[in-house]
Chains A and B, each alone.
Chain A
Amino acid sequence: MAQAMPKVDVVLVGFGWTGAILAQQLCDAGLSVLALERAAARSTPVNWATTFDQDELRYMWRHHLFQNVKYSTLTFRNNIHQSALPMRHLGSFLPGTGVGGAGIHWNGQIWRWLESDFKLKSHNEARYGKQATAGLTLQDMPVSYQELEPYYDMFDKTCGTSGQAGNLSGAKQTGGNPFEAPRSAPYPTPPLPMTYGPKLFEQAAASMGLHPFPHPAGNLSQEYTNPLGMQLGKCTFCGFCEKFGCGNYSKASPQTTLIPYILTKPNFELRTESEVLKVERTPDGRHATGVTYIDSAGIEHFQPADIVALTAYQLHNVHLMLVSGIGQPYDPATGQGHVGKNYCYQTMGSVDVFFDDKLLNPFIGAGALASVIDDYNGDNFDHSGLGFIGGAYIAGMVTGARPIEMVRVPDGVPKWGLEWKHAAKKYFLRAMGLSVHGSSYPQAGNYLDLDPTYKDQFGRPMLRMTFDFPPNDLKMSQYCTDRAAEIARNMGASSVHAKPRKGPYDITHYQTTHNVGGTMMGESPADSVVNKYSQSWNVANLFVTGAGLYPQNPGYNPTGTLAALAYLTADAIKTKYVKAAGQPLVAA
């Protein structure tokens, strides 16, 4: 029998970016908040200090900060005709674990969606006809860019994002992204300076009439104090950012921007090593009474709360919804149900660029240090006759040069032996990659559900992922990677190796940790799991945050938008829900 704990106003399941955003907002509004985190408390000086953070083997390859699949994994198959098997070792994506979540080892790439990304289905059908979206289960978002803009701005101010605005309240700005939707304020800090590789990209792209701009970065160009008084330092370009914690407080993370502030609140508690097993409900199923969690000693507890918010990683939020029996699971055979539907990823292509006469020194880098073009993203270009919709940003990006991962050799050079060794020596300082960061659109056979065979350590069915790249996305990746290769050739490269994304999806090779969908938001219970305030259609005091809310994934890193949606959710709880506790905020 689970031990009952003292009731709180709000229990948060998971304490990464969205958990921290909700905690800050709701504590400031006077609600008592308890965050349950399944793994350990972690902090900069203890867990990723400058004295030992620059360790590629331990952090990247031995997964020191990542979710440990020994205790928590899922099963995977490419299509419904295969048997799903456990992901026995991390590969394609690297979720976080512990306080701060993946907000510790993320790159700090802070993007907003295009206005058209919010109305993706209707926008594309209006421009290209219904056949353009055939085979894709696209859906419009129930919120508009304009509604979300103030919350995007809040996240930028929380992080101190470094960047160059391209559109300030409708006025185009030189040097920024000309395609971006109107921003109400400039970036809080100026853009990062470009290292040589990104500079070459910028020059080549500009010479081709494209529109390069500095990638918006949560690796700060200068010291910054956010509205909560939290301080960040300036990035020193150590090159151990993506997949690593930041030792010198220059990368925006829950720890550097929110958590110490939240901890000053008397109405906040954080409980570590406490994994939520299930959302508990009243007998009629309409109201969450709290959550059951198990601590590291194996003791089960019941945590009562007036509001339950699932603030874990997308995969875990979907899993918790399914094992708690909330909402109707998606069935690809019938198309019924929405929990687990529209699972999407990110369609990543790349181009390796080699120079014989240029020293790029790529070990000087930062997680979001890039010159980038948005000319081929979303619907920023005419897709007529191309046979696909969607797109990618193309970035001349140098996050560092960790040599186990990033010894690049030209196409045709073997992967080992003397020829490889000579190429490794020749090109380590003279090569870089272009990232082709593409959209991922849903198709009926891509989804998440509960595995019929494999159980997790608590005896619950594992989450099962069924996913392969839709033909639309593979065409997109080919097209956009070709465009990237054109830029690469204009950079004065001695050789260029274009690597568009090819199917089938392979869970073993790192691509990106942008798993989205499965708890999507929509206009009504007929098309989604939650409403525009991230409130469950079925259980009015249950809220779900994160990238699971996306019905599809635009060609951007997901953190900026999921953070903005979390601020929107917090605002709705503070200003609307508390006045109508237990009531749906959108009529079903």
Chain B
Amino acid sequence: MSAAWPRSRGKRVLLVIAILVALLIAASVGSWLWFKLNPVEIVEPPPGVLALLTQPIPDGPIADLVRRGRYLTIAGDCMSCHTRAGGQPFAGGLGLQTPFGTIYSSNITGDGDYGIGGWTPAQFYRVLHDGRSKTLGRLYPAMPYPHFTVVSRADSDAMLAFLKSVPAEHYNPPANRLPFPLDIRLVMIGWNLLNFSPHGFKADPRQSAEWNRGAYLVRGPGHCGACHTQKTVLGAEKSDKALQGAVIENRFAPDLTGNPRTGLGRWSAADIFEYLRTGRNQHAGAVGQMAEVVTYSTSLLSDADLNAIVTYLKSLPASPDTASGAPSAAAMRAGHAIFFDACTACHLVEAKGQPRMFPPLGGSAVAQQRDPTGLIGLILGGGRTAPTLARPSFQTMPSFAWKLDDQQIADVASYVRNSWGNRASPVSAKQVATIRSKLDLRQPLGRGD
């Protein structure tokens, strides 16, 4: 427990209440802000990222430690958040949009002034384990320390050794753009009190070593729940809905449980392995944020670790079945016409698809998520399959924003969600309009002849 924490029980209750009220106000302000925020920047992966993550590390006194650290930072996909456009890998400065405002990732290269060059292993471990930074103080959970808290001290030391070995950049990321009172890091005391207690990884002795390794990777460095688990109003993960899927950044991170319709129930262990290794399998391709996770993280993990992740994921009990409602006959008619004319180019007639190229849509979990946000976003904006070293192709679903209006996208989405054995709630034009606006995508050309 932190030293700043009041010793008297009465004062503690008052403080918690005050923080809670402040947070609730901030949450609503933050949600409003979220709609108003402009893109921070357009980001392409910087030059040399893959090389930094994959080129052999030359022998030296601490080479093994650095190699192990690099592997763990890959498992944690640290690069993706801690790299901005045009910057050095790990030099930070990427604006992360959260419901509460924009948080900029920090510089974790070895720079002495702005990076972690002067940090001790203990200081670094405190970030991962407690969410407390030597320079910044209490971190916001945009840095997923509630996951990293299980990372062992040895692993933490290795990661620090690797980060100190990468090219340092003398760069100070911008200050966060958060509304009062969230801009005061002390409010995180309350958040942590409610949502977080530092802990290590506790192996489940009833499970295999492989399962436990998978659990460590998924819950710990992999921080899968950061996207795939629904959040409370305060931004903490709902532990009873772990990995059941969640809206994230105008997309939907799908259900990873054994649910056969929305989760991984229909995927074999080999399917999941192939997806994480190559970015694609016979059911789906990794697009959007997951594409980055695959390209820069999972595709570079060892076979043993991927198998461990697969074993753990396959053990997750199915989420409850939530499908409700059915689209109107008019929606299905229009949806069929659009699908037949505009979607069969890749997904082919009856959506049989071309496995590993263009997903078959009958039985598709992506199509049937309880929340259609991901499907709508995919049709509107398009989506690129993760390029990986094994499969460098980046087949891309093209954007339909210019071509289809909100009702047409709603109807084709409803059709896809309720054809070929699929079953999921219908999609409304209003839902499409909202996402079109959030993604800042253009309006369509207008009605055809």
Contacts and interface: CB of A to CB of B under 8 A. Distances in A.
Chains A and B directly touch (beta carbon < 8 Å): yes
Interface string B346-373: 1010000011111000000000000000
Contact of B398 (A49, A230, A232, A260): A49
Given A45-B397, A231-B357, A233-B346, A266 B48 contact: yes
Nearest to A256: B393
A45 B50 CA distance: 24
Interface string B50-63: 11000100000000
B398 A51 contact: yes
B43 interface: no
Given A45-B396, A51-B400, A231-B395, A248 B345 contact: yes
Given A45-B399, A223-B354, A223-B357, A236 B348 contact: yes
Given A50-B346, A229-B392, A266 B398 contact: no
A44 interface: yes
A298 to B, nearest CB: 23
A45 B395 CA distance: 8
B138 interface: no
Secondary structure class of chain A's binding surface, majority of residues: loop
B354 A230 contact: no
Interface in A251-271: 256, 260-261, 263-264, 266, 269
B389 interface: yes
B170 interface: no
A269 B395 CA distance: 21
B393 A45 contact: no
B231 interface: no
B396 A228 contact: no
B384 interface: yes
A18 to B, nearest CB: 20
A52 B403 contact: yes
Contacts of B384: 45
A238 B387 contact: no
B34 interface: no
A19 interface: no
A236 B356 CA distance: 17
Contacts of A231: 356-357, 391, 393, 395
Contacts of A266: 47-48, 50-51, 55
A261 B390 CA distance: 9
A230 B392 contact: yes
B383 to A, nearest CB: 9
Contacts of A261: 392
Nearest to A249: B395
B103 to A, nearest CB: 30
Given A45-B382, A45-B397, A263 B392 contact: yes
A51 B396 CA distance: 12
A51 B342 contact: yes
Interface residues of A, number: 28
Contact of A51 (B354, B395, B399): B399
Nearest to A44: B396
B300 to A, nearest CB: 12
Nearest to A48: B398
A418 B67 CA distance: 78
B394 interface: yes
A51 B403 contact: yes
B408 to A, nearest CB: 13
A248 B51 contact: no
B330 to A, nearest CB: 24
A249 B345 contact: no
Given A45-B398, A233-B354, A247-B398, A264 B389 contact: yes
Contacts of B344: 236
Contacts of A223: 354-357
Nearest to A269: B47
A43 interface: yes
A52 B390 CA distance: 30
Contacts of A225: 391
B387 A260 contact: yes
Contact of B345 (A230, A238, A260, A269): A238
Interface in A209-231: 223, 225, 228-231
B354 A234 contact: yes
Contact of A228 (B47, B48, B392): B392
A265 to B, nearest CB: 9
Contacts of A51: 342, 398-400, 402-403
Contacts of B47: 266, 269
Interface string A49-88: 1111000000000000000000000000000000000000
A50 B387 contact: no
Nearest to A222: B354
Interface string B399-423: 1101100000000000000000000
A231 B348 CA distance: 17
Contacts of B390: 229
Nearest to A228: B392
A223 B382 CA distance: 22
Nearest to B343: A50
Contacts of A44: 395-396, 398
Interface in B306-357: 342, 344-346, 348, 354-357
Contacts of B354: 223, 233-234
Contact of B393 (A49, A50, A247, A249): A249
Contacts of B399: 45, 49, 51
Contacts of A247: 345, 398
A313 B110 CA distance: 47
A189 to B, nearest CB: 13
Given A51-B402, A231-B395, 17 more contacts: A43-B396, A44-B396, A45-B397, A49-B399, A51-B342, A51-B403, A223-B354, A223-B356, A223-B357, A229-B389, A233-B357, A249-B395, A261-B392, A263-B387, A264-B387, A266-B50, A266-B55
12 contacts: A45-B396, A50-B342, A51-B342, A223-B355, A233-B357, A233-B358, A234-B354, A236-B348, A238-B345, A248-B345, A249-B357, A260-B393
Q: Which 6 A-B pairs have the closest CB atoms?
A: A266-B51, A49-B398, A45-B396, A50-B345, A260-B392, A45-B398
